[in-house]
Amino acid sequence: MAGFHGHSREWANVQPESVEVWCVNEGNAFLKRIDRMFQMHPRNWRDDERLLRGGGKMPLTREAWCFGRASDYVKYMQEAQHPIYCQRVWEDIPASVRYPFEDVIAAVGVARPGSTLPHLYVTSTFGYMMAFALTEHIAYGQKVDEIRIAGCELMEGRERLWEREHLLYWIGVAQGMGVKISLAPNGSTLLNAPLYGIEGPYAGTVDFEGIPYGTDRYEDMFNRTVFIRHPVTGAYTLMPKTPYAFDLTEAVEKLEQERDRLRELLVQAGDGAVPQEVKT
């Protein structure tokens, strides 16, 4: 299962022929071999938003009716010789295959809180891929021994807020079914956190980012974090920034302004009690 994160995506290019390579979106940009592609966005993905921002013009790297991508990507899809799973079949894309939503929900669906009806807990294309692989494993009679994950970290903004947690959920489901999960040999942030109470924060004198405890620790932490607000609970989560460049969108910029405002409250409080608004 190949994503775009540069740290480990090349691992997908050294897989033997016995391992199927599944990719998201424009994986053809770097992959030497693709067995299945997943393009689960609608054809007009974010077109209205981009046209509004551009005063009626699309960005140079995006074109309308191209799944939020450029026309050269659609041209690749139209000529592809491998299956491309989509929300529906597209007549101008012969390789397009409708994603089997009903089968996947029946096989691995989970009820939402307060409901008994199963739904597909998926918040990114990686989840669609994991859920489909497990459906093949338990419902289609196509045994899956191992799922290898390359180029998938989900560390920024929306990805960190709800896409990362759902991928970890599917990793757990897969392991519970006896499917081995393997991560790139050069390391991953997935399944790689300090052992609570023994490693990392509060276990010694240095926290998980290597920031020494001391008077400058929290100021440094604020400089390297961003507040994200959960859309359901309304709770703020402090997310680490990474050195990778992503479009965090206007919404996240507003949350960073809120972060700065709360930081100012902390500065005004000095060494005294934390203001009630910050606690809240």
Q: Is the dihedral of CA 87, 91, 93, 96 positive or negative?
A: positive
Residue 250 pLDDT grade (very low, low, confident, very high; cuts 50, 70, 90): low
* Segment 181-203 mean pLDDT: 77
CB atoms under 10 Å from CB of 225, counted, come to 17
Can you tell me the distance from the alpha carbon of 104 to that of 194, in angstroms, rounded to the nearest whole number? 34
Mean pLDDT of 189-196: 79
Say yes or no to pLDDT of 279 above 80.
no
- pLDDT exceeds cutoff 80 at 197: no
Question: 247 or 30: which carries more pLDDT confidence?
Answer: 30
pLDDT in tens, 253-263: 777 777 778 77
Secondary structure of the chain in the HEC alphabet? CECCCCCCHHHHHHCCCCCCCEEECCHHHCCCCCCEEECCCCCCCCHHHHHHHCCCCCCCCCCCCCCCCCHHHHHHHHHCCCCEEECCCCCCCCCEEECCHHHHHHHHCEECCCCCCEECCCCCHHHHHHHHHHHHHHCCCCCCCEEEEECCCCCCHHHHHHHHHHHHHHHHHHHHCCCEEEECCCCCCCCCCCCCCCCCCCCCCECCCCCECCCCHHHHHHHCEEEEECCCCCCEEEEECCCCCCCCHHHHHHHHHHHHHHHHHHHHHCCCCCCHHHHC
pTM (predicted TM-score): 0.73
What would the mean pLDDT of 11-36 be, rounded to a whole number? 97
Confidence of residue 199 (pLDDT cuts 50, 70, 90): low
pLDDT digits (tens, 9 = 90+) for 127-149: 999 999 999 999 999 999 999 99
Percent of the chain, pLDDT > 90? 55
How many Å apart are CA 52 and CA 176, to the nearest integer?
A: 45
Q: What angle do CA 207, 213, 214 make, to 5 degrees?
A: 160
Grade residue 218 by pLDDT with cuts at 50, 70 and 90: very low
- 129 phi/psi in degrees, rounded to 5: -65, -45
pLDDT classification of 278: cutoffs 50, 70, 90: low
Give me the chain's average pLDDT, please: 82
Instruction: Average the pLDDT over each of 27-41, 126-140, 193-207 and give the range with the smallest value.
Output: 193-207
pLDDT tens digits, one per residue of 53-112 = 888 888 878 899 999 999 999 999 999 999 999 999 999 999 999 999 999 999 999 999
How many CA atoms does the CB half-sphere of 239 hold within 13 Å?
24
More confident position, 15 or 269: 15
Rounded CA separation 21/201 (Å): 37
Residue 40 has pLDDT above 50, yes or no: yes
- Residue 200: pLDDT band by 50, 70, 90 thresholds? low
Residue 180 in tokens: 């081995």
Angle between helices 164-176 and 125-138 (to 10 degrees): 10
Q: Check pLDDT > 90 for residue 224.
A: no
